[in-house]
Amino acid sequence: MALPHTQGLAEAPDGLDPATVDAAILGDREAFESLVHYYGPALHRYARRMLADEGDILEVVQDTFVAAWRRLDSFRGESSMQTWLFAICSRKIVDSYRIKRAQPIDDKLLDPLVPSPEAGPFDATSNSAFLEALEEALGELPYRQRAAWTLREVEMLTFVQIGKILRLTPDSVRGHHHRARANLSERMTRWR
């Protein structure tokens, strides 16, 4: 039986067993460790798109889980655990920006795949150059546009989820995402 505050979590699209969330909320360290292993890679990918320094990225993700552990009793299940953790992570990233200005770095998720034997040197070079240009263009976007684009296009979250993470309305998130796509489209014209 699910805890009252997580009622309906079983239908959550993030795929984590609701019993694990319930156990973590009740203070089960092993269950919380399962949350860390399940959500850690996605939070790390998101932080990598938003911050430049690997040390800052790791600190933000760690701070996210420390804050989540301390506030698990405040999780009411109004959103998915994934959305709740991304919201905490987003606030930790903003805190990090207050300390210093960051530049985005390459993301392993966007690294080119190992070229097939049929692919020539031109394909490998142009793919690498495209990813460098995309990374540079993302780095020029304002924070909210970059966050909306990354959470939508890389993490495949809905506008409602992103709105909860960034504390914006879904329509506002749509606007930031639309502007991000328009700005990226303009900056990436030569790659069409």
pLDDT along the chain (192 residues), means of 10: 42 65 88 94 93 90 95 84 93 81 48 53 62 84 92 90 92 93 87 71
pTM, two decimal places: 0.62
- Model pLDDT, residue 69: 93
Closest by CA position to 150, among listed 46, 20, 42: 46
Give me the DSSP letters along 147-169. HHHIIIIIS---HHHHHHHHT--
Residue where the block lists tokens 């292993």: 37
Helix spans in 51-142 (H): 54-71, 81-99, 121-140
CA–CA separation, 32 vs 91, rounded Å?
A: 20
- Model pLDDT, residue 7: 42
According to DSSP, residue 26 is labeled T
- Model pLDDT, residue 119: 53
